[in-house]
Amino acid sequence: MSKQHHQAFFVSLVMAITAIASAQSGYSISEFGLNFIADHEGIRYNLYNDPVGHCTIGIGHLVHKGNCDGSDASEQEFLEGITEDRAHELLRSDIAVAERAVNDYVTVPLTQSQFDALVSFAYNIGSGNFRNSDLLAKLNTGDYDSVPKELNKWIYGGGKVLPGLKTRRSDEGSLFQSEVMDSDASRMITLTLYIHDRGEDGPAIPNAIVSGQDGSGNNFRETAGESGLAAIAGDSGTWSFEASADGYETNSWSQKITDTCTKHAFLKQSSGSAFMHNSESSVVGKWAFHFIRESWESSSEKVTRGPDSKDEWDSTVEFHSDGTFTESTSYMTFAGEWTQDANNIRLQDSLEFRDGSGNYVSASQTSESRDGIIEGSTMNGRGSIRTQMTIKGDDSYSADISEAYTWSANRIE
């Protein structure tokens, strides 16, 4: 395949995203872990260049690679600075990517402290670097002792040792070693589980039945109270769950529960419930989307829109009750996450792609967000896509691609 074809292929993939793990699976960073990252990143309310020269704001939020100079469209929303609340909002959004990377790529059990340390590391170096690191490869063989040493290899920026990175890696290593895993037996813990209608921001479902097995295979069965809360005591490990309530579809799942914690589960009203399909406040279901591109910009003249790139396109999106969505276009099917606050809808997704042949390698990272308003059986809003791509070969170069579009949607079912 020629480089020109690869370029066109990247542009056609700009809408693609990867399936994002459900909020009901894997570990979650602790409040201590969040504060640990914030303390090491520091907080800046205006745009600045990080130690390796990338445009940044807030608590280590990457705006774009390269210096802040006003030429990149992604800087526009931050030109007047941000508030502390917005900085923490960006941090939580960014950390979700690192959390997902650690959950997806680590195959051995972790303590909470070990998970927090790895999320800090992955957040700092990027999910792609974490996935390809020797640290991950050794850890997944059960070599926990190698982690602090491997962390200390990631202290360079621009070919020089950066004191801030050196301190951070040392602190991450100490955090990783601070909690010893009990290899002999599981621990008794308490899970506080909230049952919601459609999503975490949805109303509580009182009297829902939650049953299953804890990490040691012990059976449990609890009834949620008026606040939708069920408190379950059991052994740490991988738990299996089944949640049900009158008028709702049964939801079954498994996840690691390693410490006393709070989780949320979501139920979708059954097909016989008129509220589920007719409610103006419910996005769960299948929708037909139509998109109209408003702008397309590339930082490199070598990357142009492919001949098959269209200014209007369509897709079908199915919103699931667990906070994920599945989207189908004429050329692929992909997935992402959605949130709803009253009638405000947000969709987010991301993609990492790599292809190579001989000495030719192409790679890209794409992120997309959409915001809109739901009104009965219709929705409309705006969205943006940003792709960072790198081509290596006889003619190596990199480019940032930014797109903006409007969208509308109609409920199908």
The size of the chain, in residues, is 413
Give residues with Cβ within 8 angstroms of 64, minimum separation 6. 54, 55, 72, 74, 75, 386, 388, 400
Mean pLDDT across the stretch 131-148? Answer: 93
Architecture of the domain spanning 188-276:
Sandwich (2.60)
CATH class entry, domain 31-177? mainly alpha
The pLDDT of residue 302 is above 50: yes
Q: What is the pLDDT of residue 226?
A: 81
* pLDDT more than 90, % of the chain: 27
pLDDT above 50: residue 15: no
- Structure token pair of residue 89: 């909002």
State yes or no: pLDDT of 11 exceeds 60: no
Residues 65, 269: Cα–Cα separation, whole Å: 44
pLDDT of residue 187: 61
The larger pLDDT score, comparing residue 363 to residue 267, is at 267
| Region of poorest pLDDT, from 93-102, 351-360, 371-380, 399-408 | 351-360
pLDDT at 224 over 60: yes
pLDDT at residue 272 in the model: 46
Work out the pLDDT band at 408, boundaries 50, 70, 90.
very high
Domain boundary assignment for the chain: 3-16+282-411, 31-177, 188-276
* Distance, CA of 408 to CA of 372 (rounded, Å): 9
Task: Return the pLDDT at 181.
Answer: 61
The separation between the first and the last C-alpha atoms of the chain, rounded to the nearest angstrom, is 41
Beta bridge partners of 64: 55
Rounded Cα distance between 119 and 40, Å, is 13
Residue with tokens 């009834």: 223
Q: What is the pLDDT of residues 146-173, one digit of tens each?
A: 999 999 999 988 788 888 899 999 999 9
Q: Which of 41, 99, 150, 327 is catalytic?
A: 41
Give CA separation, 320 vs 69, 337, 354, in Å: 41, 9, 29
- Per-residue model confidence (pLDDT) at position 218: 87
Q: Mean pLDDT, the chain, as a whole number?
A: 80
DSSP annotation of 74: G
Residue closest to 340 by CA, chosen among 328, 322, 326: 322
Q: Can you name the residues that pair with 220 across neighbouring β-strands?
A: 212
The string of pLDDT tens digits covering residues 255-284 is 888 777 888 888 887 754 433 333 345 678
The rounded distance, in Å, linking the Cα atoms of 43 and 84 is 8
When pLDDT is cut at 50, 70 and 90, the band that residue 199 belongs to is: low
pLDDT tens for residues 22-72? Answer: 223 468 898 889 889 988 888 999 999 987 789 999 998 989 989 999 889
Strands 188-197 and 261-267: parallel
User: Comparing 227-236, 350-359, 376-385, which segment has the lowest mean pLDDT?
Assistant: 350-359
The CATH label, of 2.40.10, 1.10.3430, 2.40.160, 1.10.3470, for the domain at 3-16+282-411 is: 2.40.160
> 402 to each of 350, 365, 392, 412, how far by Cα in Å?
14, 12, 21, 30
At residue 210, does pLDDT exceed 90? Answer: yes
Least confident of 81-85, 179-183, 334-338: 179-183
Q: Which residue has the higher pLDDT, 25 or 107?
A: 107
d(CA 134, CA 150): 7
Q: Whole-model pTM?
A: 0.41
Q: Would residue 200 show up in a list of annotated catalytic residues for this protein?
A: no
